[in-house]
Amino acid sequence: MARAGRNEIRTRIHKRIRRRVEGTQERPRLAVFRSINHIYAQVIDDQQGHTLAAAASTEKVFQEAVPAKGGNVEGAKLIGKAVAERAKDKGITRVVFDRGGYLYHGRVKALADAARQAGLEF
């Protein structure tokens, strides 16, 4: 039997998390995805299937601010703050956090902490 790859394991963990974590209109889901070079965050209403707010290190604004393409803790902090501000502009203050199967460490933790400091509750 072949060994499962790292991304396969992460996907399996994410599915397990998603069984319990669901975004509603009152309390949407803050989903995180990270690649080697970038990090992405979305605030999602799963009942309607809509993304309410999003931020990504691929956006031109962040590419200029972070020379390391957002693939580091500083980039994650900027994305966390930006997604929180965009969510607050839409009247969203409470979310459930979906770490996407990643360990709550490093860039994922930095994004979450920055979102909390910018005013999101989770």
- Each residue's pLDDT tens digit, 64-95: 877 777 689 999 999 999 999 999 999 999 99
Q: Is 3 left (phi over 0), alpha (psi -120 to 50) or beta?
A: beta
Q: Chain-wide mean pLDDT for the chain?
A: 94
Alpha carbons 38 and 33: distance in angstroms, whole number: 9
What's the pLDDT band for 63 if we cut at 50, 70, 90?
A: confident
Is the CATH number 3.30.9.10 carried by domain 6-117?
no
What does the pLDDT read at residue 44? 98
pLDDT number for residue 1: 64
Q: In three state form, how does the secondary structure of the chain look?
A: CCCCCHHHHHHHHHHHHHHHCCCCCCCCEEEEEECCCCEEEEEEECCCCEEEEEEECCCHHHHHHCCCCCCCHHHHHHHHHHHHHHHHHCCCCECEEECCCCCCCCHHHHHHHHHHHCCCEC
pTM for this predicted structure: 0.92
* pLDDT > 70? residue 20: yes
